[in-house]
Amino acid sequence: MCGIVGYIGPKGAVPILLEGLKKLEYRGYDSAGIAVIEDKNLELRKAEGKLKVLDDKLSLEKFKGNIGLGHTRWATHGRPSDENAHPHQDCGGKLALVHNGIIENFQEIKRNLEKEGHTFSSETDTEVVVHLVEKFFSGNLSEAVQKATALLEGSYAIAVINQENPDQIVAYRQDSPLILGIGEGEYYLASDIPALLPYTRRVIILEDGEMVELNRENYRVIGPGGELLNKEIEEIDWDLEMAEKKGFPHYMLKEIHEQPDVMRQLLEKPLRGSEIELPEIDAILKSQEKIEKIFIVACGTAYHSGLIGKALLEKATGIPVEVDMASEFRYRSPLIGENSLVIVVSQSGETADTLAALRHARDKRAKTLGIVNVQGSTIAREADQLLLIEAGLEIAVASTKAYLNMLTAFNLLALKMGDGDIAGNENGELLHLLREIPAQVEKTLLRMEKPVRKAAEYIKNWDNAFFVGRGLDFSLALEGALKLKEISYIHAEAYAAGELKHGTLALIEEGIPVVALLTQESLLEKMISNIQEIRARGGYVFGITQDRFASRVAEEVDFLFKIPNTADIFAPLLGTVPLQLLSYFTADFRDCPIDQPRNLAKSVTVE
């Protein structure tokens, strides 16, 4: 998501800020800006688009100021534009502030500030923060920041400079990362370690509620109660490539571990209150009574998310749903019209077949909804409505965090279109359980690594593997098999468990690995019967189930993975984690090029 960089020291700030922002590009952004103080004048330069646009602007000027802030913005409140880009200023133009995160109560604060005479020039939630700091500023910037942040609700990291004091930066963290870099007679701020490594490897990682004051001689870290903290300086021994991977050996593993955070990002706004808020799809909701059929169109992993989306939407709305591979959609002459809703799903928003399906749907006057990860992509621009999955930049070709957030988006969509009810589950109960899922994903990651490594050591020696499940578990099994194929080059196939006796059992031989998903209570006994058929023919079964079913399942499988308890409809959000890790560690044991598997590309822009 957004990125912050700050610098104070003897060097020119602008090149350092730009280089730091380049190191944070992987976080995803749609505009960028910097603020520097030069001769006690505050200079701001901001630009929509990539950093090159900002760089080109700055190349015409020769700022020599040696204190400044930089920012890359991923739009949340307000469209991508020069006006909405950070840094933001107060009414007097003396303060500049950058911010990552979301201020949940910004509208109330903004109304009160406007009554007091403050004027705003952007659509962002961020701008209220700099005006709050202005309101409380009476010569002490740190005190003003403390008073301002006491009124904020949400997740944020901020940094502020004041042109009347060109020797100070004040920054504060609450639920959004912020790191202090310590150099020789100079100090740095950044959202992530890669931005600091060209300049220093000595860092202090700020915790929630902590504020840091930087000046040219020293720094101070102040705790939530105003106490001065003596925090340990950490030495980072990563090279730059490792830093971008946050110390993980591959981007894929890093992205698997980012899933709790990106899921929280996606859920944060819709789940603020007692009901789901999805203003992005208001037009669809207003015309929902006229929708006679829903089509979900996608490719690969996105297609697999659509299979789960179909089940959720049908249960929630009672509207028939069809799921199509985008490469086949147009060529079967689908019966769509103005009372159809066509949902197209794509991580990049540029997938050629999916884009063609979207245009075909629009030609047929169908309503269209894009579920994508890249704001400003072609699908994002051309779909009637847009639901961003907020997964951030995904570098590994095999999608993990984008897939999980696609599933999350379908859950939100189904709950909203079903007025909070899916298959008889009450709204309040489901929203409570959905809020818990990011923490449960974290718990699953912690408990899974050792057992999954052990399972992967077994699977790595086989040329074939099978994945089986029923209902939602079958749709998830398809994704598990795809992941193993993509990065380990083991031939893997997924089957609906009830279809085994219709031919697939002929392929079961002694010891062959079979991954069985048993997360759905209503299908548990039937799945156990299917597993017994597999084991009777020599198959070696790895079971994935919820904790509450573990005692029943354990005696039926050879190896058991347990995920935390949740509503059955949410189980795929947790069940995908062991499948991702299993494919990753299997590929790692086989020395495969995990992040860039042969013959595959991240964004497929040809048909």
8 A C-beta contact, residue 574 and residue 563: yes
The per-residue b/e assignment along 148-176, b for 16 or more CB within 10 angstroms, e otherwise, is bbebbebbbbbbbbbbebbebbbbbbbeb
- Helical H runs in 124-209? 127-136, 141-149
Q: Which residues are catalytic?
A: 2, 602
Nearest to 124 by CA among 91, 78, 184: 78
Establish whether the linkage from the previous residue to 15 is cis, with ω within 30° of 0: no
8 A C-beta contact, residue 96 and residue 89: yes
Residues 6+ apart with CB under 8 A from 591: none
8 A C-beta contact, residue 218 and residue 8: no
Q: How far is CA 197 from CA 24, 241, 246, in A?
A: 12, 10, 12
Q: What angle do CA 227, 233, 239 make, to 5 degrees?
A: 145
Residues in the chain: 607
Cα-Cα-Cα-Cα torsion 326, 331, 332, 334, nearest 10 degrees, comes to: 70
Residues 6+ apart with CB under 8 A from 377: 346, 348, 349, 350
For residue 255, how far is the Cα from the chain centroid? 9
Backbone angles phi and psi of 485, in degrees to 5: -65, -45
- 10 Å CB burial of residue 565 (0-12, 13-18, 19+) is middle
3-state secondary structure at position 382: helix
DSSP letter string over 438-492? HHHHHHHHHHHHHHHHHHHHHHTT-SEEEEEESTHHHHHHHHHHHHHHHHH--EE
The two beta strands, 179-182 and 202-205, are antiparallel
Residue 153 tokens, joined: 């609700």
